[in-house]
Chains A and B, each alone.
Chain A
Amino acid sequence: MLEVAVAHHFGSFVLDAAFDSAGGLTALFGRSGAGKTSLINAIAGLLRPERGRIVVDGEVLTDTECGICVPARRRRIGYVFQEGRLFPHLSVRQNLLYGRWFAPQGGRAGEVEQIVELLGIGALLQRRPALLSGGEKQRVAIGRALLARPRLLVMDEPLASLDEARKTEILPYIERLRDEAGVPIVYVSHQVAEVARLATTMVVLTEGRVAAVGPTASIMGRIDLFPLTGRAEAGALLATHVAGHDPAFGLTVLRAAAGELRVPHLDLAVGAALRVRIRARDVMIALKPPEGLSALNVLPGTVVEIGRSDGPIVEIRLDCGGEALIARLTRRSVETLGLAPGRPVYAVIKSIAFDHHAIAGAAPPSPGADAETREG
């Protein structure tokens, strides 16, 4: 549904990237200067690439070989800019309705109210952008882009200029957008936590090139990509659902293919799906089922891959019931334990490793569920 191939020079920097996506939320991940913004500018029509082909929903928007470059205004691609770029001389309501004016007719009745409600900006409609907080501005910017009835939404680090509290305020709205609005999203970010939480598909960009494309969980689990995805935050993604609660100890039990996880209480209904990121640095390895250990989570698995390293630290990948789990150990431990591919082991994870960076509420059980408390 989205097909992108772009080649362009900026002085000595060469952007030469291509990827396909089937929909959902596609994250363009990479360091600053990797070419992420240029890539989405080309998708949105704000950059005319030297060579390239961009197809959205079967419609060719850019094809330099055929001399096609549809102007930005006719692409129907909603753009949420890093700094919001709300029109300062218009009220929030006028900002929201700006794109609707030019959009094709025939929107659903009550569409505006629905999006205003989805983004929680009903109380801001009469205000001017100058009087909004950073988080409010970004929500209005998202609403403005959505109300132009785009067939694709591109978001350029929409959370980058916000502090931690504002980020947690907006993330749930983007999740709802992904799950409820039905508009595919291309999301630019250099934050692992954001991508892990939001992305269906992940595109890793480095120095203007695509290093890897694939489902987020499998890209996050690739040891060879850690230098690009960031070693400190590296970890595996597990798809889980809530299996039950343990009110006596304030814990929630999550069920994944790999086994059961006990995490600090989450305000979610039994059966709710959510994504958990287990950072490699939070995982210990034991050869036998551990006894007399405080950690509550022990997952049996098999060593699949041992990362190559000459330094003191090595990453190893485990297969736990079909799901990948990454552990970071010292090279010394790997040798002492005699770890090698095929060896059965036990992964040990402390429950308190599951902080709000690691747990993302995926599809919420009901629209009324409060976003903040879901963070735990």
Chain B
Amino acid sequence: MTALLQFTPEELTAIRLSLRVAFWAMLCSLPVGVATALLLARGRFWGKSLLNAIVHLPLVMPPVVTGYLLLLMFGRRGPLGRLFAESFGIVFAFRWTGAALACAVMGFPLMVRSMRLSIEAVDRRLEDAAATLGADAFWVFVTITLPLILPGIVAGMILSFARALGEFGATITFVSNIPGETQTLPTAIYTLIQVPGGDLAAFRLTLVSIALSLAALLASEVLIERATRRVHGL
């Protein structure tokens, strides 16, 4: 029983890395997610269905395809990969940042979907009311729209985070499975299953994975309920 709780340093690294990757994936996709959700919920422009389809693509495509596309675009020789490396000094290939990018892309549809639904549920007449009280578009958004869609934003963030914890296919395709750099929980479990005598360690990490996912989901329930109550003043 105690063996179940004795983590090796490698395992702890994998857990920490997983959390870091998921956190950054969630945080960096947040502004883009809100903007995209606003565009899809409120915008009226040519090609909206196309944008919607592209946003949802990672949800239906095989993860290995997404990972391969990321490799082509953000790899060392990929056009975007070179741009980021030269302009911002950010390298994705075979780094944990690449794992975060892969997770962000995979979680993006879930994030946008949840936010879009909450934006569409906002009573736009409240925004009219704010305008008659003198608020311009920016302040209407900050003081009325944003607080009202907060539960949807929180839900989107948690979904993205939880999805990132479980991401496997795109990550391993894009940044491989390097211990200490790109080896997250799922890829670590996968590796342990492959080696003889790794069963116990694999099981240990599986339990961790279950616990983390469960905690994320429970936290989202609490946060969403609290935010909803705050919004409706109950």
Are A46 and B133 neighbours in the complex by a CB distance under 8 Å? no
A-B contact count (CB 8 A): 76
A-contact bits for B8-49, CB 8 A (1 contact / 0 none): 000000000000000000000000000000000000000000
**Shortest beta-carbon distance, A78 to chain B, in Å?**
7
**Shortest beta-carbon distance, B146 to chain A, in Å?**
10
Are B233 and A72 neighbours in the complex by a CB distance under 8 Å? no
A-contact bits for B134-157, CB 8 A (1 contact / 0 none): 111001000110011000000000
Are B233 and A73 neighbours in the complex by a CB distance under 8 Å? no
Given A89-B148, A89-B233, A130-B234, decide whether A73 and B136 contact each other with a Cβ distance below 8 A. Answer: yes
User: Chain A, interface size: which category?
Assistant: 20 to 34
Given A88-B232, A89-B230, decide whether A71 and B134 contact each other with a Cβ distance below 8 A. Answer: no
A144 CB contacts on chain B under 8 angstroms: 133
**Nearest A residue to B148 by beta-carbon distance?**
A89
**Nearest B residue to A71 by beta-carbon distance?**
B131
Are B233 and A129 neighbours in the complex by a CB distance under 8 Å? yes
Contacts A73-B136, A75-B132, A130-B234 aside, 20 further interface pairs with beta carbons under 8 A come to A45-B131, A72-B131, A73-B134, A73-B135, A78-B133, A79-B132, A81-B129, A85-B125, A87-B144, A88-B126, A89-B230, A89-B233, A91-B233, A98-B130, A102-B133, A102-B139, A129-B233, A130-B233, A131-B234, A148-B134
A44 CB contacts on chain B under 8 angstroms: 132
**Shortest beta-carbon distance, B102 to chain A, in Å?**
36
Are B133 and A128 neighbours in the complex by a CB distance under 8 Å? no
> Which residues 33-65 of A sit at the B interface, judged by CB distance below 8 A?
44-46
Interface residues of B, Cβ cutoff 8 Å to A = 123, 125-126, 128-136, 139, 143-144, 147-148, 230-234
Are A46 and B233 neighbours in the complex by a CB distance under 8 Å? no
When chains A and B are docked, how far (Å) is the Cα of A129 from the Cα of B232?
Answer: 8
Are B131 and A73 neighbours in the complex by a CB distance under 8 Å? yes
B231 CB contacts on chain A under 8 angstroms: 88-89
Are A81 and B125 neighbours in the complex by a CB distance under 8 Å? yes
**Nearest B residue to A85 by beta-carbon distance?**
B129
Interchain CB contact (< 8 A) of B132 among A72, A87, A88, A130: A72
Closest 3 CB pairs of A and B: A128-B233, A102-B134, A99-B133
Contact sample, A vs B, 26 pairs, CB 8 Å cutoff: A44-B132, A73-B132, A73-B134, A73-B136, A76-B134, A77-B132, A78-B132, A85-B126, A85-B129, A87-B130, A87-B144, A89-B230, A89-B233, A90-B233, A98-B130, A98-B135, A101-B134, A101-B135, A102-B134, A102-B135, A102-B139, A129-B233, A144-B133, A145-B133, A148-B133, A148-B134
**Shortest beta-carbon distance, B135 to chain A, in Å?**
6
When chains A and B are docked, how far (Å) is the Cα of A89 from the Cα of B129?
Answer: 14
When chains A and B are docked, how far (Å) is the Cα of A329 from the Cα of B125?
Answer: 47
Q: Quick check: is A193 within 8 A (CB to CB) of the other chain?
A: no
